[in-house]
Amino acid sequence: MKKLMLFVLAVTVLASFLASSSPDGLEMVAEKLGFIEMASDRASVMPDYTVPLLPEGGISAALAGIAGVMISLSVFWAAAFWLKLRSRTRSQH
């Protein structure tokens, strides 16, 4: 499990340095069709996949990616734990 986690984090860090600075697909379509102005800016913890306290670039994007992986894994782990606990209580009744 540790090796898999290290692999996922390594891919996350490497991919962040290779990421494009061009707008994503939804932004590009909104610009082409002329309704990008209708988009609302909302508060975000990591806007544009960066850590706000660091200058934009590879390190900031890598840390944001690592945070995203950790948050996703935590949510998955919590859901799996809850479902396992729930199935145990149902099987006891």
Q: Which residues contact 52 (CB under 8 A, 6 or more apart)?
A: 46
Model confidence over 60-79: pLDDT tens digits?
Answer: 989 999 999 999 999 999 99
What is the tens place of the pLDDT at every residue in 9-62?
899 888 888 877 776 788 888 889 988 888 777 778 888 788 888 888 888 989
Does residue 1 register a pLDDT over 90?
no
pLDDT score of 4 more than 80: yes
* Cβ atoms 39, 29 nearer than 8 A: no
Indicate the number of domains in the chain. Answer: 1
Among 11, 16, 12, which residue's Cα sits nearest to residue 50? 16
pLDDT-based confidence at 93, cuts 50/70/90?
A: low
Domain span at residue 20 reads: 2-92
pLDDT at 73: 92
Specify the pTM: 0.68
